[in-house]
Amino acid sequence: MVVKLGIDNIDENIDIFRDKKVGLITNPSGIDSNFMSTIDILNRKTNLTTLFSVEHGIRGNISAGDNIRDEIDVITGLPVYSLYGKNKKPTSNMLNNIDILAYDIQDVGARFYTYINTLAYAMEACAKNNKTFVVFDRPNPLGGNQVQGIYLNKDYSSLVGKYPIVQRYGLTIGEYANFINKEFKINCDLKVISMTNWSRDMYYDETNLKTWVMPSPNIPTLDSALAYIGTCLFEGTNVSEGRGTTKPFEIIGAPWINSLNFANDLNNLNLTGVKFRPISFKPTSSKYSKDDGVLNDKECGGVQIHITDRKTVNPVKIGVAMVITLKNKYKNEFKFTSNNFIDNLYGDKSLREDQKSIEEFFKIIDRESELFKKQIKKYYIY
């Protein structure tokens, strides 16, 4: 049975948009099951007046972390306001010419993915300015049964984690919007246009949808999305997270790592659903590449993460185990970035400061994962 996306169900929900001026937050992943852009669909079926751009740009042509500028969309001629630059949320002026702000972006099921925090900021802006917020729901590509991680400490809230949720939150984007709207008292006028035939046990490649579009340039595949839940932590260190390789977030390393020893150490932990293979690589961009300033064009030793069982793998534990292993084994070489970005990514300062064992971290992860799963169940749509 084929899953129908929220945008596929627009005709059954067209009354929501009747006689309304519509704005849209989207990117290249915002397409229906026939690969038609949500921009084009809304432009044809509604009074679309305004577009909003997130990280990587409305056409996906901007590198990670680069500021996005306001522009005019070359296809529709509509104004495009940036939500990844000076403004993280729509201003009152940006919302002047709309009654409804719609959202259609494929997320990856990770707390630190900036798109879900853009969603939250947009909902807050709609609540403040008395606008309706509409979410076209999409699958959580990693399914909806697995919930893994620790709660974000509110002291470390940022664009890579706004609310106290765990790293792998196990909700669709529509369920997540319902959850934060109630739990964190955003209280906007929220409408979710649901999918049809999606169930919580489905990974994206089990939906029969053919529309996997890279949600961002360094999440090309489902495996990279799953690994990202844990290995995104390396963005807060001097270890390459695989940007500039063919396997971002699945390949991890640095020039001072002995790949054989690192792989052996990790495999000896007997983590479920994963194997680590020693590898050497030269990134073509980002850390240790030719464009990386002082530490340029370096060959890195490290590992490739091979996920062998998606049902039992815990990528949060993988990331934590890898960080602690390197922190203990390479005390002089391994560094956290000077801004302590790891704290925002992990959720608190414990991974950077505490001397707990891997097993002690795992116990905390298990406990908080179960607490969060109980908290979110009442927001399930599917």
Over the range 22-38, which residues count as b (16 or more CB within 10 Å of their CB) and which as e? Answer: bbbbbbbbbbbbeeebb
Cβ-based burial of 277 (10 A; exposed 0-12, middle 13-18, buried ≥19): middle
pTM of the model: 0.94
Instruction: Give the model's pLDDT for residue 24.
Output: 98
CB 134 within 8 A of CB 103: yes
Q: For residue 337, tell me if it sits in a domain.
A: yes
Is the domain of 338 the same as that of 267?
yes
Q: For residue 45, tell me if it sits in a domain.
A: yes
Q: For residue 244, tell me if it sits in a domain.
A: yes
Q: For residue 369, tell me if it sits in a domain.
A: no
Is the domain of 42 the same as that of 148?
yes
Is the domain of 193 the same as that of 248?
no
Instruction: Give the model's pLDDT for residue 316.
Output: 98
Distances in Å between the Cα of 279 and the Cα atoms of 89, 244, 276, 325, 331 are 41, 15, 9, 17, 21
At residue 141, the 3 state secondary structure works out as: coil
Instruction: Give the model's pLDDT for residue 292.
Output: 72
Is the domain of 77 the same as that of 156?
yes
Q: Which residues of the chain have pLDDT under 70?
A: 56, 59-67, 293-297
Is the domain of 148 the same as that of 233?
no
Residue 207's CB is within 10 A of a number of other CB atoms, namely 23
- Pick from 139, 260, 255: nearest CA to 201: 139
Instruction: Give the model's pLDDT for residue 217.
Output: 84
Is the domain of 171 the same as that of 277?
no
Instruction: Give the model's pLDDT for residue 166.
Output: 98
Distances in Å between the Cα of 282 and the Cα atoms of 220, 241, 245, 289, 319 are 19, 12, 8, 7, 21
Is the domain of 121 the same as that of 233?
no
- Which CATH number covers residue 172? 3.40.50.12170
Cβ-based burial of 54 (10 A; exposed 0-12, middle 13-18, buried ≥19): buried
Q: For residue 188, tell me if it sits in a domain.
A: yes
Cβ-based burial of 268 (10 A; exposed 0-12, middle 13-18, buried ≥19): exposed
CB 282 within 8 A of CB 300: yes
Is the domain of 254 the same as that of 195?
no
Q: Which two tokens stand for residue 110?
A: 């990770």
Instruction: Give the model's pLDDT for residue 336.
Output: 98
Is the domain of 85 the same as that of 197?
yes
Instruction: Give the model's pLDDT for residue 325.
Output: 98
Q: For residue 338, tell me if it sits in a domain.
A: yes
Is the domain of 29 the same as that of 80?
yes
Instruction: Give the model's pLDDT for residue 275.
Output: 98
CB 119 within 8 A of CB 153: no
Q: In angstroms, rounded to a whole number, what is the distance separating the alpha carbons of residues 371 and 154? A: 17
Instruction: Give the model's pLDDT for residue 58.
Output: 79
- Pick from 307, 300, 10, 348: nearest CA to 166: 348
- Which CATH number covers residue 299? 3.90.1150.140
Q: For residue 354, tell me if it sits in a domain.
A: no
Instruction: Give the model's pLDDT for residue 170.
Output: 98
pLDDT digits (tens, 9 = 90+) for 168-195: 999 999 999 999 999 999 999 999 999 9
State how many domains the chain has: 2
Is the domain of 203 the same as that of 322?
no
Is the domain of 204 the same as that of 245?
no
Instruction: Give the model's pLDDT for residue 71.
Output: 87
Q: In angstroms, rounded to a whole number, what is the distance separating the alpha carbons of residues 327 and 35? A: 45
Bridging pattern class, strands 300-307 and 251-254: antiparallel
Instruction: Give the model's pLDDT for residue 344.
Output: 97
pLDDT digits (tens, 9 = 90+) for 298-343: 799 999 999 999 999 999 999 999 999 999 999 999 999 999 999 9
Instruction: Give the model's pLDDT for residue 249.
Output: 98
Provide the residue range defining the domain that includes 162.
6-215+374-379
Q: For residue 295, tell me if it sits in a domain.
A: yes
